[in-house]
C-alpha cells in the first residue's frame, strides 16, 4: 500500500511539473491556437531594458478618461524599470482627494500586475510624518527621493493632473532613488 501511495505522489509531482512547464511556455492544451495575423513585435530595446508588457489591470489602455490614460502613461514611463523593482508611489498631485486616492490605488494595481513590488502607502505616510512632509500639493524631487530611499524603494513615482478642458493631461515621472535620475516620464490626455 505504501508503494502505491509513493508511486501516486511521484506521478502527481511529475504531472504538476510538466503542466507548469507547459503553461510557462504558453503551450497549455486549453489555450486557443494562435491568431493568423499576430500583433507586430515590440521594438527591440537595448539590453537591460524591458519591452512593453501587457497590463492586465482593471481597464485597458484604450479605455477613455483617467483609467485608460493611467494605463498608457504607466506602460510608457516604466519601460526602463526592471521587473521586481521596489516602487513607491510618493506623490499624486491632484486637488480632489478622492481622485488622488483613486489614481494612487489604480497605480498600485497596474504596477503590481506588471510584476513590481509596491511599497505600502501606510509605510510611506509614516515616514512622511517623520519628515514633516505634506501629503497634498507638490513635493520637490529631493524630498520625494529621500522618502523613497528611506522606504527601501528602488524607484519612486510622482504624478499630477494639469491643464483645463481639452488640454487636461495626466503626467507621470519615475525617478531612481539612488541617483535621483529621471528614468521615465510620460503624459497622456484624457
Identify whether 125 is part of a domain: yes
The predicted structure's pLDDT at residue 123: 86
CA separation for the pair 154, 84 (Å, rounded)? 10
Contacts of residue 169, Cβ cutoff 8 Å, sequence gap at least 6: 161, 162, 163, 187, 188, 189, 190
Query: Do residues 186 and 179 lie in contact, with contact meaning Cβ atoms separated by under 8 Å?
Result: no
The predicted structure's pLDDT at residue 39: 41
Contacts of residue 105, Cβ cutoff 8 Å, sequence gap at least 6: none
Contacts of residue 53, Cβ cutoff 8 Å, sequence gap at least 6: 75, 114, 115
pTM of the model: 0.65
CA separation for the pair 173, 92 (Å, rounded)? 10
- Containing 88, the helix (H) or strand (E) segment is strand 86-93
Identify whether 157 is part of a domain: yes
Q: Specify the range with the lowest mean pLDDT, choosing from 3-7, 11-15, 110-114, 153-157.
A: 11-15
Identify whether 42 is part of a domain: no
Number of domain units in the chain: 1
CA separation for the pair 187, 164 (Å, rounded)? 14
Query: Do residues 144 and 175 lie in contact, with contact meaning Cβ atoms separated by under 8 Å?
Result: yes
Q: What is the pLDDT of residues 17-34, one digit of tens each?
A: 555 555 444 444 444 444
Q: What is the pLDDT of residues 58-110, one digit of tens each?
A: 455 567 788 999 999 999 999 999 999 999 999 899 988 999 999 999 999 99
Identify whether 144 is part of a domain: yes
CA separation for the pair 181, 148 (Å, rounded)? 13
Identify whether 19 is part of a domain: no
Identify whether 4 is part of a domain: no
Domain at 101, CATH number:
3.40.50.10610
The predicted structure's pLDDT at residue 50: 44
Range of the domain at 109: 65-189
Amino acid at each position: 500500500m505504501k508503494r502505491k501511495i509513493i508511486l501516486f505522489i511521484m506521478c502527481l509531482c511529475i504531472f504538476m511539473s510538466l503542466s507548469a512547464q507547459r503553461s510557462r511556455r504558453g503551450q497549455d492544451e486549453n489555450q486557443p491556437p494562435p491568431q493568423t495575423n499576430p500583433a507586430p513585435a515590440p521594438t527591440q530595446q537595448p539590453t537591460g531594458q524591458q519591452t512593453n508588457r501587457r497590463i492586465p489591470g482593471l481597464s485597458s489602455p484604450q479605455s477613455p478618461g483617467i483609467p485608460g490614460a493611467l494605463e498608457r502613461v504607466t506602460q510608457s514611463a516604466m519601460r526602463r524599470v526592471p521587473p521586481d523593482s521596489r516602487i513607491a508611489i510618493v506623490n499624486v498631485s491632484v486637488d480632489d482627494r478622492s481622485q488622488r486616492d483613486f489614481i494612487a490605488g489604480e497605480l498600485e494595481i497596474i504596477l503590481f500586475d506588471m510584476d513590481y513590488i509596491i511599497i505600502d502607502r501606510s509605510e510611506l505616510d509614516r515616514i512622511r510624518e517623520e519628515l514633516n512632509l505634506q501629503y497634498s500639493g507638490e513635493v520637490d524631487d529631493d524630498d520625494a527621493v529621500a522618502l523613497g530611499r528611506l522606504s527601501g524603494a528602488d524607484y519612486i513615482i510622482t504624478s499630477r493632473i494639469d491643464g483645463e478642458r481639452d488640454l487636461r493631461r495626466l503626467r507621470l515621472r519615475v525617478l531612481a532613488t539612488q541617483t535621483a535620475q529621471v528614468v521615465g516620464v510620460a503624459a497622456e490626455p484624457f
